[in-house]
Structure 1
């Protein structure tokens, strides 16, 4: 791409976050997601690109507002991925880890993925490639502890608090590591592991499309990612083949999901989370916490933005 679009896509995540934060905690899971999707679409539509929307997990959901196939008013062709509100159930219930995300890259740089489950393991750049998704959680945790020069008991593992993770959680506890359980927001948990600020490693099952965004973050910020899609039947395998995936035992790494350094990612917190603070409303506006990262330079910024609605109303 001939331009750094990071500052432009972060404006879209800010508007989505402000829109969702205004109705957070009201309990309507579908409405808060739809309003965030409408807000991010409206703002991204001003980009001077022809952005092809990829990896929209809700594309076929009848109750969810669809994202357009292309977004923007320009001629430069790009890939564009938008998660207007991750953890929308948590946002609607007034809980943590709700965040808005966007990724932009040159056309063909983001691998499309089927709407299936993916087992992931994510670590920061200080740990690197010592993990192996085919090894047990215990082995990977101990390898990471050695890489960081820590005792296993001082390692913090971020895991989604879901029934499917019960065996995983029991094994982590048995090996002696600390656990940070989160109800939703696997991307936020992965970003926390990349930076090492609140956890050392993320392990667990999530969604495959989100894996592409997590890989983009690794490409921009450093670290290491492995993911493996799980197929329950022939229908799942046929869905993967529609995305050019024929090796059903494949371990996906950064280079498999993000094929270019010309990529940027942005995010804004809606509610307080593992990686970003949520929106804070003031008497005449709001304060948002965001980040922008760019793969070409590994430039990484955290932003605190003050919005004054008297001058630029959002709603």
Structure 2
């Protein structure tokens, strides 16, 4: 894949962010999500790839656009064939309520390199480069925290653990507190929480807990680019979700997926902040346009680029904002 493709894709996340940010804090989750989807789908029409959505908004009958299996991009026979994992609005609730850490995100890989994750839950643990190789989902949260602290040259009490604020995490939260680590509870958006572990300025060292499996693939793609570590294990809620996972090619429901099994090969990742969070600023409107803050990463080189874009709405295509 051409390295410039990552810079093309960030224009797509910018479009989705600009569109959904217009509805920030207005309490309408469906409208926020639809605005992001519409803008992202339209923006993809200008990207010269032959892309297939493998992590998207759902099946065709559930999602009229950006559904799993949809073809996107305007590429011809010489354009690269790629698989695309995306979430036009990661953190729908927090955007609708005006809270922090909602982002628009896309990951791209060579064909067949992403796990085709079913729409179910996944138990996750994510860390940055300093703790790579120290995590093991087969071990308890307490043991993982000790291993992570040792790898980072810290005390467990120095670690900050990001956890989704959900009733299902009561036991996990209690154990982490008893181990002595600090906790940052988030209402939504565990892709941003996982990626934050790879950037020291965020103050987040570990992500633990159960969240969406598709979001796990997106997080793994980003973490691959910067040398962190991630493990995930599917947690289906019913027999229907188990059958769905088997249909999508998962052979062992209990399998612990390592980072390279979730996102392999040459991976590119782009995200644009919608509301300000741990590592990206949100959209700021200026009257004649807006300012966006994005990150672009590539696994091949480990390069991380932050892009601040100043948009003039009277001089650029209209993607729905």
TM-score band (shorter)? over 0.9
> In 2, distance between residues paired with 1:36 and 1:241?
30
Q: 2:269 matched to which residue of 1? A: 265
Equivalent residues of 2:109, 2:264 under 8 A apart: no
Structure 1 residue 224 and structure 2 residue 222: aligned? no
> In 1, distance between residues paired with 2:213 and 2:236?
11
Structure 2 unmatched ranges of 5 or more = none
Residue by residue, what CA displacement relative to the aligned partner does 1:13-45 show, whole Å, maximum 9, x if unpaired?
001001011111111110110110010111112
Structure 1 residue 255 and structure 2 residue 260: aligned? yes
Structure 1 unmatched ranges of 5 or more = none
TM-score (norm 2): 0.93
- Residue number among 155, 170, 179 corresponding to 1:175 in the alignment: 179
> In 1, distance between residues paired with 2:237 and 2:109?
32
Does the residue aligned with 1:259 lie in a helix, a strand or coil? coil
- Correspondence list, 1:1-315, <5 A: 1-59=1-59, 62=62, 65-67=64-66, 69-74=70-75, 75=77, 76-196=80-200, 197-260=202-265, 262-312=266-316, 314=318, 315=321
> In 1, distance between residues paired with 2:239 and 2:276?
40
Residue by residue, what CA displacement relative to the aligned partner does 1:189-229 show, whole Å, maximum 9, x if unpaired?
00111223321100010011111111111211111000000
> In 2, distance between residues paired with 1:191 and 1:259?
17
Does the residue aligned with 1:5 lie in a helix, a strand or coil? helix
Residue by residue, what CA displacement relative to the aligned partner does 1:142-185 show, whole Å, maximum 9, x if unpaired?
11111111121111001111111111111111111110111000
Further displaced range: 274-283 or 233-242: 233-242
- Give the CA RMSD over aligned residues: 1.5
Does the residue aligned with 1:301 lie in a helix, a strand or coil? strand
> In 2, distance between residues paired with 1:2 and 1:287?
27
